[in-house]
Amino acid sequence: MDNVSIIRIIAGIFAVCGLAVGMAYIAFLGTVLSKCSPSSRTMSPGSVWFLLVPLVGIVWNFLVVFALADSLGNEFRLRNIPTIDSKPGKSLGIAMSVLGACMIIPFVNLLAILPYLILWIVYWVKIAGYSRLLNSPAAPTLVSANPQGN
pLDDT digits (tens, 9 = 90+) for 69-110: 999 999 999 999 888 888 999 999 999 999 999 999 999 999
Mean pLDDT of the residues in the chain: 90
pLDDT at 138: 54
Rounded distance between C-alpha atoms, residue 80 and residue 91, angstroms: 22
Q: How confident is the model at residue 23 (pLDDT cuts 50, 70, 90)?
A: very high
Q: What is the DSSP string of 36-85?
A: S-TTT-SS-GGGGGGGGSTTHHHHHHHHHHHHHHHHHHHHHHHHT---S-
**Model confidence at 135: pLDDT above 60:** yes
- Per-residue pLDDT band for 1 (boundaries 50, 70, 90) equals confident
Residues 52, 77 contacting (CB under 8 angstroms): no
Is it the case that residue 125 has pLDDT exceeding 80? yes
pTM for this structure? Answer: 0.84
Q: CA gyration radius for the chain?
A: 20
- DSSP assignment of 93-125 equals HHHHHHHHHHTTSTTHHHHHHHHHHHHHHHHHH
The residues, any chain, with a CB within 8 Å of residue 3's CB and separated by 6 or more, are: none
Residue pair 124/24 in contact by the 8 Å Cβ criterion = no
The pLDDT assigned to 147 comes to: 45
Q: Residue ranges of the domains in the chain?
A: 3-135
Residue 54 clears pLDDT 80, i.e. is over it: yes
Amino acid at 7: I
Question: Cβ(14)–Cβ(4) under 8 Å?
Answer: no
Q: What's the pLDDT band for 3 if we cut at 50, 70, 90?
A: confident
